[in-house]
Amino acid sequence: MLWQEDNKKAGFDVDDSVVDLLFNIECRELPVDHIYQLSQAIHQALPGRAEDNELGVHPVHLAGSQNGWERPDESLGQNLILSKRTKLILRVRKEHQQDVVDRLHNITLDIDGFEMTVKKPKVRKLRKDSTIFSRAIVCSESETEDEMQFLNRMQQELALMGIIIKKALCGKTSQFKTPDGPVLTRSLMLADMSPEDSVKLQQTGIGPLRDMGCGIFLPHKGIEAVGESTDDEK
Domain 2-13+128-225: top CATH class: alpha beta
Q: 18-125 has which fold?
A: Alpha-Beta Plaits (3.30.70)
pLDDT in tens, the chain (234 residues): 666 555 445 567 888 999 999 999 999 999 999 999 999 999 999 987 766 678 999 999 765 544 444 667 666 678 999 999 999 999 999 999 999 999 999 999 999 999 999 999 999 999 999 999 999 999 999 999 999 999 999 999 999 999 999 999 999 999 999 999 999 999 999 999 999 999 999 999 999 999 999 999 999 875 544 444 455 444
Q: What is the DSSP string of 59-92?
A: PP----SBTTBPPP-GGGT-EEEPPTT-EEEEEE
Domain ranges of the chain: 2-13+128-225, 18-125
Sheet holding 108-111, edge to edge: 56-57, 87-93, 18-26, 114-125, 108-111
CA distances from 62 to 78, 79, 117, 199, 229 (A): 14, 11, 18, 25, 11
- The pTM of the full predicted model, rounded to 2 decimals, is 0.86
Please count the residues of the chain: 234
Helix, strand, coil distribution of the chain in percent, nearest 5: 25, 30, 45
Same fold, 2-13+128-225 and 18-125: yes
